[in-house]
Amino acid sequence: MDSKTISGFSKLNKIGKIRWIAENFFKDPEAVVHELKSFWYANEAKQKVLDGFSENTISNFPMPFGVAPNFIINGEAYTIPMVIEESSVVAAASSAAKYWMSRGGFKTQVLGTVKLGQLHFKWKGDFQKLVALEKRFASYLKHEVKDLTYNMNKRGGGIAGVRFKDLSSEIPNVRQLMIEFQTCDSMGANFINTILEKASEILDRFLVQEDSLTGEEKDYEKIMAILSNYTPDCLVRAEVFCSVDELGSFGDVEANELASRFCTAVQIARVDPFRATTHNKGIYNGVDAVVLATGNDFRAIEACGHTYASRDGQYRSLSYCEVKDGQFRFWMDLPIAVGTVGGLTNLHPIAKRSLELLGNPSAEKLMQIIAATGLAQNFAAVRSLVTTGIQKGHMKMHLMNILNHLDASEEEVDAVSEHFEDNTISFSEVRKYVDRLRSA
């Protein structure tokens, strides 16, 4: 067996895993062992909690935990927790929040909270017979899973709808049962998947017992059952608006021109997938940062958003802009499925603090906070693009990363910051300037 492969790795303790990795993949094993251990929590209980989140854990991977103050959302003030490593994101969100604070803030509303699960199966009968049985099966299903849904029903959630879908034109005999769920303040993944697994057995029994079906129409073969991360009806809207005059000038760009350029930039992202991809990535700079900070699943939320951006067959901007009758309006409808109880939201110590910082919001309120942050990030990025350009602000934030890489002293940081206040920042130019300071 090659020294870089191993049998029984998962059975090694954490030190054993680290030593095997260090000795087989690194030139200085002892230094690697020491470095990986240095990122462990000193508090063993806290470390045990983190180790339990994943498998084969050997260390922790720290990420910056920042905050963006001055968000006014539906008249309420928030300081937003953000976990992200990209320079300028938190600064841009904070800038946009402060800008809109004096212009009415962000207005948000939840448009829907439906989450979805799918059961795929093979069935050779007349699909219209299944459609005709939807209401009867829905009642049967709810009765059969009432013990599993009891607590969720008490909180106002549970199974919200049932429908069948025919996929047989694409895949012979394949059908789908789509179940709609309300999961209140929990993300609900385990709840949904448990119901779906049970629904497979229940549908099988239902088809066998149904008098209107005969012969092969009673034959059922389960393919798979799992929730869908595409939740187009778990939707939140965030918007900002003011008179064009209130936009003010930005650099050398006056309000009317700013409004015109801004709307055109958003329209370009509506029609050009190449631009739309970067445009939406900027939205998720803000969205993902809050989702991570609150212990939610940024991968599911982003996958859902990108699918939603393609819902008419072309990938488009998630945000919209219009100037009408002297009014500027910028808004976004975003599918976001999050939870504020259960899972990492209760287990991760910083996620708990993030939710406390936000006032321990309900899932619906957290949806609105996340959407407002994404819109703020998008506003700041587009405004920079159509005025001063994105690099000026971005590179100023990146300057500290460069100086840290060069191990600059406090005196050198001050001198470099002053020199590059009005000069173009690049790694090579900063290094040259630092070298000149050190050789003087």
What pLDDT is stored for residue 39 in this prediction? 95
User: At 353, which helix (H) or strand (E)?
Assistant: helix 349-357
What CATH architecture is 115-228?
2-Layer Sandwich (3.30)
Structure tokens at 304: 């859902």
Q: What is the pLDDT of residue 188?
A: 93
Residue 2: pLDDT above 90?
A: no
**pLDDT higher than 70, residue 393:** no
3-state secondary structure 64-121: CEEEEEEEEECCEEEEEEEECCCCCHHHHHHHHHHHHHCCCCEEEEECCCCEEEEEEE
395-411 average pLDDT score: 78
Q: What per-residue confidence (pLDDT) applies to 97?
A: 98
Please provide the distance, in angstroms rounded to a whole number, between the alpha carbons at the two ends of the chain. Answer: 57
Mean pLDDT of all residues in 376-399 = 81
Mean pLDDT of the chain: 94
Q: What is the pLDDT of residue 425?
A: 79
* Residues 6 or more apart whose Cβ sits within 8 Å of residue 260: 323
Strand partners, 159: 181
Q: With 80 as the cut, is the pLDDT of residue 83 above it?
A: yes
In this predicted model, what pLDDT tens digit does every residue of 148-167 receive, in sequence order?
999 999 999 999 999 999 99
Cα 437 to Cα 440: distance, rounded to the nearest angstrom? 5
Query: Which are the catalytic amino acids?
Result: 86, 281, 297, 394
* Model confidence band, residue 430 (pLDDT cutoffs 50, 70, 90): confident
Is the predicted pLDDT of residue 1 greater than 60, yes or no? no
pLDDT of residue 262: 98
Residue 352 predicted with pLDDT over 70:
yes
- Per the CB < 8 A criterion, the answer to whether 208 and 216 are in contact is no
Domain locations along the chain = 1-62, 65-111+235-388, 115-228, 393-439
Provide the Cα torsion 296, 299, 304, 308; round to 10°: 120
Answer whether residue 221 shows pLDDT above 80: yes
User: pLDDT band at residue 94, thresholds of 50, 70 and 90?
Assistant: very high
pLDDT-derived band of residue 396, with 50, 70 and 90 as boundaries?
A: low
Mean pLDDT of 121-136: 95
What integer pLDDT is reported at residue 435 of this predicted model?
87
pLDDT for residue 415? 85
Q: What angle is formed at CA 59 by the lines to CA 58 and CA 61, rounded to 5 degrees?
A: 135
Per-residue model confidence (pLDDT) at position 401: 77
- In this predicted structure, the answer to whether residue 434 has a pLDDT above a threshold of 90 is no
pLDDT band at 390 (very low <50, low <70, confident <90, very high): low
Mean pLDDT, rounded, for 186-212: 95
Task: Give the dihedral sign, CA 253/258/261/266.
Answer: positive
Question: Quick one: which of 113, 251, 243, 241 has its CA closest to 183?
Answer: 113
Q: Does domain 65-111+235-388 have CATH number 3.90.770.10?
A: yes
pLDDT of residue 424: 77
Can you give the pLDDT at residue 148? 96
Q: What is the pLDDT of residues 273-314, one digit of tens each?
A: 999 999 999 999 999 999 999 999 999 999 999 999 999 999
Task: Note the Cα 301 to chain centre separation in Å.
Answer: 4
* Lowest-confidence region among 83-92, 97-106, 222-231: 83-92
Based on its alpha-carbon atoms, the radius of gyration of the chain, rounded to whole angstroms, reads 27
Of 152 and 398, more confident:
152
Mean pLDDT of 422-438: 82
